[in-house]
Amino acid sequence: MAPVVKALMKQPEIETIVCSTGQHREMLKPILDLFKISCDHDLDVMVPGQDLNALFSRTLFRTGELLSKVGADRLLVHGDTTTAGAAALAAFHQKLPVGHVEAGLRTRRLHEPWPEELNRRLVDIVADHLYAPTEESARNLEAEALGKKTIVVTGNTVIDALLQVNEQLTSNSSLIAVLEQKFGFLDRSKKLLLITGHRRENFGQAFENICRAIAEIGRRGDTQIVYPVHLNPNVREPVFRIIGNCENISLIEPVGYLEFVYLMRLATLILTDSGGVQEEAPSLGKRVLVMRNITERPEAVAAGLVEIVGTEHDRIVDRVSDYLDGRSSISLDGAVNPYGDGHAAERIVHQLNSEY
């Protein structure tokens, strides 16, 4: 959402109020600092050990209070998190119009991803402005006959953010020097496999399979693995238990967006269950293997940029090995990222300006 906030702040006729739910503040602060954004309100919804119902209800209540207090004319929410769904519903209860950034993504399986598939549908139902990242996501919305909506194909704002950060990394030699020192443990003579993994629907046996596969890949002498481990205890426990002492695997704390883009630039291959990485990596010419059974981002799969490998141990190990050993081509030369050109935020702001 950062590029949208920055673009809105350039509009003198629009007062932009930034709200955080207070989840993982230590992960949010580097993003705010990087894009020079201040958070005006913190809902402070996090309670240790709370389940999704508690998170949803606290977000619903506190967003409703805030919207009444500030007298907002419109709420913008992004994506498909539980907090996005709750915030959109809070606005709907006050008959406040909602704009959904990254609208229309679908797997058509309510439990994959869980609970995101339900959240994104909920937001699209209550929102009147739907900012679809691709033509396919727009067609998804049109096919659902959601009523009178404004649907605009904008590209995905994550590509805006990626290209802005990548430009810094390309042009700022002193910044590169700082990052090279920070990640000085990397052996540039080895292939780099970058991993992210944190999806709720994978918790349990599927995530154990993923960890065992990573451990086996880590036995390769020609490859090093870097895994920034999410703060969720359902992720950290199996990760550190199964692969905490494996050679060639660096388990590091979550990194800021700047650092993560730097690691993507260095990666030979990316293994993930994330949604955003599927969109970002192709813009850097990096191939992605997705540890899920289905994706709401089929455009990159259709374009040959992303491959779904599931969560079974043998499948993950086999396909990673095929790419690292050259049996499958890692090269993405000439590929065009279907998720945008870096001007999504401008299109969203243009549409908002045309409304008032």
Look-up of token digits 């935020």: 345
Residue-level pLDDT at 149: 94
Residue found by looking up tokens 């699209």 in the block: 124
**What is the 3-state composition of the chain as percent helix, strand, coil, each rounded to the nearest 5?**
45, 15, 40
pLDDT at residue number 355: 80
Q: Based on the fold, state whether residues 143 and 13 are members of the same structural domain.
A: yes
Q: Are residues 187 and 63 in the same domain?
A: no
Tens of pLDDT along 136-159?
999 999 999 898 899 999 999 999
Give the pairing of strands 129-132 and 150-153: parallel
Question: What tens digit of pLDDT does each residue of 253-290 get?
Answer: 999 899 999 999 999 999 999 888 999 998 899 999 99
Strand partners, 158: none
Q: Are residues 275 and 145 in the same domain?
A: no
Residue 9 contacts by C-beta under 8 Å, 6 or more apart in sequence?
Answer: 16
Are residues 184 and 138 located together in one domain of the fold?
no
Output the domain CATH number for residue 126: 3.40.50.2000
Task: Give the range of the structural domain holding residue 77, as residue numbers without chain letter.
Answer: 2-156+340-355
Q: What is the pLDDT confidence band of residue 17, given thresholds at 50, 70 and 90? A: very high
pTM for the model stands at: 0.86
Using CA atoms, how far apart are residues 304 and 316, in angstroms rounded to an integer?
18
Asked, for residue 12, whether it belongs to a domain, the answer is yes
pLDDT tops 80 at residue 334: no
User: Is the pLDDT at 24 greater than 80, yes or no?
Assistant: no
pLDDT at 203: 84
pLDDT of residue 29: 87
Task: Say yes or no: 151 and 240 in one domain.
Answer: no
The percent of residues above 70 in pLDDT, for the chain, comes to: 100
Could you tell me if residue 334 is inside a domain?
no
| Residues 78, 57: Cα–Cα separation, whole Å | 18
Query: Model confidence at 343, in pLDDT bands (50, 70, 90)?
Result: very high
pLDDT at 27: 78
pLDDT the model gives residue 28? 86
Q: Is 273 exposed, middle or buried (0-12, 13-18, 19+ CB in 10 A)?
A: buried
DSSP state of 110: T
Instruction: Identify the CA nearest to 200 among candidates 288, 111, 121.
Output: 111
Give the residue numbers marked as catalytic.
80, 102, 116, 198, 200, 230
75 occurs within a structural domain: yes
Asked whether the beta carbons of 299 and 134 are under 8 A apart, the reply is: yes
pLDDT at 26 (0 to 100): 79
Strands 223-228 and 288-290, by their bridges, are unpaired
What pLDDT, in 10s, does the model give residues 26-70?
Answer: 778 888 998 999 999 999 998 888 899 999 999 999 999 999 999
- What's the Rg (C-alpha) of the chain? 20
Q: How many C-beta atoms surround the C-beta of residue 141 within 10 A?
A: 20
Query: What is the pLDDT averaged over residues 180-193?
Result: 95
Answer whether residue 18 is part of any domain.
yes
